[in-house]
Each structure stands twice: as structure tokens, then as C-alpha cells.
Amino acid sequence: MAIRLGLGLPQMKWYDLARAPAAVARAAERVGYDSLWVFERVLVPERPRQGLYDVPGLAWPDSYRSVAHPLVVLSLAAAATERARLGSSVLVAPLHGPFQLARALATLDAASGGRVVAGLGTGWSLDEHAAAGHAPFEERGAVLDELLDVCAAVWGPDPVSYRGRHALIDEAEVGPKPVRPVPVYLAASGGNALDRVARRADGWLPTGMTPGQLAVLRREIGERAALYGRDAGAIQVCARANVRITEAPVRDAGRKPFVGTVEQIVQDTAGYAAAGADEVLLDLQTNARDADELADLAARVHADIRGAGI
């Protein structure tokens, strides 16, 4: 069975938000992409408290300035498509009130005919957490756990009742309900986050890994899932690829996955498939200047991957 292919929707500041998300979503579905995805960045600090991804000295890229709200972009894509799944990779859970985020995801699932994949993570930015003001940075793991509980309650039958630290719901009718149980995918690269995937997730969202690293962690998730009495095969793996396309092949021995020519991107996709990924999310938006260029590039990459039998 061919690996599923997802495409990152245009959210960066140089895209025309009145046209680009819907146009690219429509074009991607037409050429055969299985899913459409968004990510979340809410600000770029002028004086960052930490480097990008919490890596000391790593600068925040200009492309992160003025990233469009993920659920707004996903709603535009939902209205323009009929088949493609609609996912987030990821929504940063502690930046949102859990009750309202659960309702927003349920509403989008109902409006799209049951196509939402709720991809969630804890985040890493001290500045973003401070701006959101929902909970201390140190509690972000607990906040995500509570969000999962709130989602289960809100998406379930009425009357809804929940008592937690960040949400208190007395018996109430809450709607609309999702069309079906919304799949929850979680970002994780180790530790407690990986254990949370094994315990609670329908899918795993790895990012920036080599095929070897992906295979090792996939196996670890499976082993942990078995300890919780879960079927490891039921946990889907959707690997995010932040693609940077070059005209000439990148021959450096330290080349990162998904940096290189389209031919190298095809090879990297094959590597992820062999490592156990069920789906690869290709975020191509930094390689194009507008919706038309992005749609054309996405069509070419899709055709080359499928043409290689992947």
C-alpha cells in the first residue's frame, strides 16, 4: 500500500490569505494529496528568551513572522475541499483554553463532514506561553493531558461534566458534536511525551528525524503501548517534513532529510516509508512565492513520489 501524502497549507506572511489557502487546498486534493495540514506560531519575539526550538543560539526565521491562525486556515481549506483529511501539526495546547479548543475542533469536524485530525503538542517557546497566559510553562505537559480529557468529555454524549484544574464544566449540553471520534495525534521525541503517545494517542507526529531515529522511536512507542494493553499497530505515524528544495543535489554527508533536489525529496520519502511512517506531511510553503507556485510544486512532488512507486 502506498504511503499517504499530506501537504502543508500556506500560512506564511507572503501568501494572500484571501485566496491562497483555499486555492492550494483545492489543487492539492485534485492531484491526490490525502491530507492538508497547518502549524502554529503565534509570535516572533524581538528579544527571544531562548533559541528556536529551545536550541541555544538558533535564530527564529523571518518566515515565522505573521503566521496565520491555524484553525482559520484549516476552515478555509475545509470549505474548498470534500475528501482530504484536515490536520494540525501541531496546535500548541497550552496556548488555548481547553474547553474552547475542544469546541472549535468539534465544530470544524462537523462542518467538514468528519475530516479533522487533532494534532497537538506542548510547545517549547517561553515567549508564546507567556503571551497566551493560560498556565505556567512548567505545567505544559499537565495542560495537554487535561485538554485530552476535556476533548473526550466535550466530544462525548451530553450532558457533559468535567472537573479539572483548568476547566470546570457542570452538567451541560455542549455542541455541535464531531461526526465521529476525532483522531488525536501527538508530537513527541522522547520521555513523558513519548509515553503519552503510547497511552493516549491515535497517532504520532515526529518532526526532523532521520529514518533511523524514526524507526527506533516507533518501536519504543509500540513497546510502551503494549505495556498499556494497546495495539501498537493502531497508532498511526505521520512524519512532518519541512522541505527545502535546492537546484543542485546536496552531497554533504550531514545532509538533513528533506533538504535537496526533488529527486532527493522522493528518496527521503521512501526512507520514511521504509522506517514505518504511514504518512508523510510535506510542508513546501517556504519554497514558493505565491499560491500558484506552491500548487505547481506540490503537484510535481506528488507526481514524482507516486511515479517512483512510493
Tens of pLDDT along 98-127? 999 999 999 999 999 999 999 999 999 999
Cβ atoms 271, 211 nearer than 8 A: yes
Q: In three state form, how does the secondary structure of the chain look? A: CCCEEEEECCCCCCCCCCCHHHHHHHHHHHHCCCEEEECCCCCCCCCCCCCHHHCCCCCCCHHHCCCCCHHHHHHHHHHHCCCCEEEECCEEHHHCCHHHHHHHHHHHHHHCCCCEEEEEECCCCHHHHHHHCCCCHHHHHHHHHHHHHHHHHHHCCCCEEEECCCCEEEEECCCCCCCCCCCEEECCCCHHHHHHHHHHCCEECCECCCHHHHHHHHHHHHHHHHHCCCCHHHCEEEEEEECEECCCCCCCCCCCCCEECHHHHHHHHHHHHHHCCCEEEEECHHHCCCHHHHHHHHHHHHHHHHHCCC
* Residue 132 pLDDT class (50, 70, 90 cuts): very high
Whether residue 134 has pLDDT greater than 90: no
* Residue 135 pLDDT class (50, 70, 90 cuts): confident
- What's the pLDDT at 306? 98
- What's the pLDDT at 288? 98
- What's the pLDDT at 116? 99
- What's the pLDDT at 1? 72
**225-237 tens-digit pLDDT:** 999 999 999 999 9
Percent of the chain topping pLDDT 90: 97
Whether residue 133 has pLDDT greater than 90: no
* Residue 75 pLDDT class (50, 70, 90 cuts): very high
Q: What is the mean pLDDT of the chain?
A: 97
- What's the pLDDT at 89? 98
**At the fourth CATH level, which superfamily is domain 4-307?**
Luciferase-like domain (3.20.20.30)
Q: Which residue do the cell numbers 526550538 mark?
A: 53
Q: Where are the domains of the chain?
A: 4-307
**175-226 tens-digit pLDDT:** 999 999 999 999 999 999 999 999 999 999 999 999 999 999 999 999 999 9
Q: Which residues, including other chains, have CB under 8 Å from residue 132's CB and lie 6 or more apart? A: 42, 94, 95, 96
Task: Identify the CA nearest to 28 among candidates 8, 58, 4, 46.
Answer: 8
Task: Identify the CA nearest to 301 among candidates 268, 274, 263.
Answer: 263
**258-305 tens-digit pLDDT:** 999 999 999 999 999 999 999 999 999 999 999 999 999 999 999 999
